Amino acid sequence: MKKKMMAILLGALMLVGSIGLLAACKTERYDVEIFVYDFTDAYVTTVRDALATEFGKTDLKVHFNDGKNNQGDQIKQIKNALAAGAKMLIVNPVNDVATQEIRDEVAKNSGASVVFFNKQYASYEYEKNDTLYVGSDLDGGGAMQGTQVAKYLIDNFGQGEEDVTVKAMVLYGDVANPDARYRTFTWIQSANQMLKEFNEGDTTINPNQITLAINFDIGSENPETGADVYPVVTAGGVGSEWSSSGAIKTINGIGKDNFAAPGVDANKYSFVVANNDDMALGAVEALGELAKQVKILGVDALPNAVAAVKDGTMLATVKQQGDLMAKALANIADKAVTKDGDKITVGSLKDALAATDFADAAYADKDLKEGLPTGSQYSAKPGVVRIPYLPL
């Protein structure tokens, strides 16, 4: 009798164990899989938080994947999600050139669709592949930075008798990123245009000349090679682009002795223009007390950067509307995805976009300013949604 009871008990335990094992092995299904290039990126973290908030307003269940700045690992994550049945993918690629490879993987899976954000691949035809891209206006942030640089110079040196030359440098970020390139082009272009108008104005009112000195060829196909343009890469390179740690290493490498307030020494850097706030804040930390003399600008309007502008350790930042980017992505997914029990169906992304407020002309892709090399690669692309910057 005891043997029989033991056998029954053992069988029951094995059954419970098997059920537990099956439950543990079962892959949880999500309505939307979101892939972020690197969770440590300060700005992209604000977008990720905004995405969680916006999708919380829908009935779509989302899952975030950290690419850890490794494109190979992100591709594996995407393949695994597709193999598990994912149909709606939202991807912030590690490298913009991986857009085609990612789309090819999605295309192998019937009914699956992808929307890219924050990193645009120039030669990719988004609408042709029923794929969308949502990102910030390529040249708007740089134009606002340039206006701030020129305004500061004119306000502070415009009434002097002597000519003034100030030297500027760029904390560039990722050399392959189009946003970095166009922000850099446009801030220099905007600043120089304002200074040109000032210098050619009435000399009885503005007798002196103000010159912005920066070694950067605006007509070059490889502007990041200019002597005053610093890509920002820490030891090893992995995860360092766009980072405060990379900026600190760059500034320390140049040496604080090579920085001075505008108008003090034309051979020293007086302006540090960073392509994001994280790098700008790294410059603030590296320069220490000098940060209130050297003029530092960033992009993103991160809370710490806004605070730095208020306390005078940064001259300016520009708001990149990550919250609006997240709203566009969530709205598109909500319009595209249909749920029927556990079954997920994704309709036309083009039609989904048309059903949102982001189909409005205010967000349509448009031609970039004249004079920018390779501009035609990014101009007026169907299937691309542009989120405007805001000045602070």
Of 146, 231, 232, residue with least CA distance to 185: 146
Kind and range of the H or E element at 65?
strand 62-66
Model pLDDT, residue 162: 85
Please check whether the domain covering 32-119+322-359 is classified as CATH 3.40.20.10.
no
Q: What is the pLDDT of residues 252-292, one digit of tens each?
A: 989 999 999 999 999 999 999 999 999 999 999 999 999 99
Domain boundaries, the chain: 32-119+322-359, 140-319
Other CB atoms within 10 A of residue 115 CB: 25
Model pLDDT, residue 216: 60
Domain boundaries 140-319, corresponding CATH code: 3.40.50.2300
Q: In whole numbers, what is the pLDDT of the chain averaged over residues? A: 83
Question: What is the pTM for the complete model shown?
Answer: 0.83
Tell how strand 88-91 and strand 384-387 pair up.
unpaired
Tell how strand 88-91 and strand 210-213 pair up.
unpaired
CB neighbour list of residue 311: distance below 8 Å, 6 or more residues apart: none
Q: Does position 378 have pLDDT exceeding 70, yes or no?
A: no
